[in-house]
Amino acid sequence: MRLTENIKYLRILHGLKQADIAIRLNKTKNVISNWERGDNSPNPDEVEMLCRIFGVTPNQIFGWDPIPELDEYLEQERVKSERTAQLNEQRRKIREELKQIGDELKNMRG
């Protein structure tokens, strides 16, 4: 499964759309989408072309060797996701507190 994830994240890391990869490989956008979802896999020639596009080795694209830039990108995304979850929790608590204050004001007014 690492191959499919790496194709997607390397594409995003390089600022490319599925259509950009499809054009370079003379494929349709749906083919690239299927690879990223794991519905199909690229053949060896396509893997070689993907490696050239992304500037990685076959061992890296298959996840057997690390890709420092990708690992850094994924860590940044993990931190962003974690921070977003924290902010959403804070927002939820604030909304809850505001509702309680509103309910208390209604009760005070009778």
Report the Cα 50 to chain-centroid distance in Å: 18
Mean pLDDT over the full length of the chain? 93
**What is the value of pTM for the model shown?**
0.69
Q: What are the φ and ψ backbone dihedral angles of 48, each rounded to 5 degrees?
A: -60, -45
Low-confidence ranges of the chain (pLDDT < 70): 1, 110
Six-digit token string for 75: 């860590």
Are 4 and 38 a contacting pair, CB within 8 Å?
yes
- Position 73 scores a pLDDT of 83
Instruction: Give me the pLDDT at residue 39, please.
Output: 95
